[in-house]
């Protein structure tokens, strides 16, 4: 494995006109499934960890050691990334305990406060002996409970994006272009603002852009979950054609995928327990969860090239 910073991976993607997946992981099973497929397909990968996932797994250092040991024989570039760091302290802790990349998410703050906090993280990252990549977010990426799209203030302003990157010195910028977190993307088919992406990349041609909230929430997987005892009623994702277009025709070089892996893992576990009601060995049903994640990772990798 070449354990590296995220910028190195994304610069190659920017030149080659493809996107690198950032798969969110939580534990041994999710990390193992993602790395296995990416290594087999010889595709660089960003393993993303949220603050809550790090807490669940026992801390940043534990996840770092797991990834370092697990991926040492994989002949691909791997970055370990803090996803949506909420504070300077969270980003500092991740850097201090081995992560090669962090995202400081101060998008809920004012423009000037966002710049101030982001600059502080960048300055700390640049002091390290090894290269640490810093991602930040500008714009409002809505969540499951929100229904705000159509309001132009939600989207990333191209002119402010240029100023933000120039003043903070970040390595990549997460933009709000019509995607949203979670399993329900709102009312109607989500509309990706390709016009905004193109305006931003025209102003920032050498800056890798990032798309969060790009879960596809494939209807066939939801249907299978419900067939084996699930009860997911309102689920809608981003059109796979839009994901492919973002990856291959824009400067979106990193596409985050979290919910799709959760759904896949849930499907595998439910299928096994539904068919084997007498089981009590978690290794058996967790293995099925891993298998479904592997399938989803392969599907995603095909879309991003």
Backbone angles phi, psi at 82, to 5 degrees: -80, 120
The total of other beta-carbon atoms located within 10 Å of residue 286's CB is 18
* Residues 155 and 195 sit within 8 Å (Cβ to Cβ): no
Q: Concatenated DSSP letters for 106-173?
A: -TTS-HHHHHHHHHHHHHHHHTSSS--EEEEEES----TT---TT-GGGSPPHHHHHHHHHHH--SEE
* Residue 46 three-state SS: strand
Helices 219-227 and 259-275, axial angle in degrees (round to 10): 30
How far is it, in rounded angstroms, from Cα 179 to Cα 185? 7
Catalytic residue among 83, 171, 242, 260: 83
How far is it, in rounded angstroms, from Cα 274 to Cα 278? 10
Residue from 251, 247, 175 nearest 213 by CA = 175
* Residue 35 three-state SS: helix
Active site residue 83: yes
DSSP 8-state class, residue 263: H
85 strand-pairing partners: 104
* Residues 139 and 106 sit within 8 Å (Cβ to Cβ): no
Residue 221: alpha-carbon gap to chain centroid: 20
Sequence-ordered list of residues with C-beta below 8 angstroms from that of 297, at least 6 positions apart, any chain: 21, 23, 33, 34, 37, 38, 261
Task: Point out the residues that are catalytic.
Answer: 83
């Amino acid at each position: 494995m070449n354990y590296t910073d995220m910028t190195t991976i994304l610069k190659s993607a920017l030149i080659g006109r493809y996107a690198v997946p950032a798969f969110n992981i939580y534990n041994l099973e999710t990390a193992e499934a993602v790395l296995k497929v990416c290594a087999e397909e010889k595709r660089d990968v960003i393993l993303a960890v949220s603050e809550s996932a790090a807490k669940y797994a026992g801390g940043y250092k534990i996840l770092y050691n797991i990834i370092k040991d697990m991926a040492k024989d994989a002949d691909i570039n791997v970055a370990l990334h803090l996803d949506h760091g909420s504070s300077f302290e969270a980003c500092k802790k991740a850097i201090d305990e081995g992560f090669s990349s962090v995202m400081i998410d101060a998008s809920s703050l004012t423009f000037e406060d966002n710049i101030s906090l982001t600059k502080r993280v960048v300055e700390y990252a640049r002091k390290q002996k090894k290269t640490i990549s810093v991602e930040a977010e500008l714009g409002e990426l809505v969540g499951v409970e929100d229904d705000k799209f159509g309001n132009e203030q939600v989207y990333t302003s191209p002119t402010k994006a240029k100023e933000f990157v120039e003043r903070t010195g970040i390595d990549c910028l997460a933009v709000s272009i019509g995607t949203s977190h979670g399993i329900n993307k709102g009312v109607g088919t989500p509309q990706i603002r390709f016009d905004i992406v193109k305006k931003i990349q025209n102003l920032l041609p050498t800056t890798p852009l990032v798309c969060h909230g790009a879960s596809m929430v494939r209807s066939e997987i939801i249907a299978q979950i419900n067939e084996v005892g699930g009860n997911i009623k309102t689920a809608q994702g981003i059109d796979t054609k839009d994901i492919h277009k973002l990856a291959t025709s824009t400067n979106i070089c990193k596409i985050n995928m979290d919910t799709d892996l959760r759904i896949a893992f849930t499907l595998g576990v439910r299928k096994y327990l539904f068919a084997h009601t007498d089981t009590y060995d978690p290794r058996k049903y967790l293995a099925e969860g891993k298998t479904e994640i592997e399938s989803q990772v392969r599907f995603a990798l095909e879309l991003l090239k």
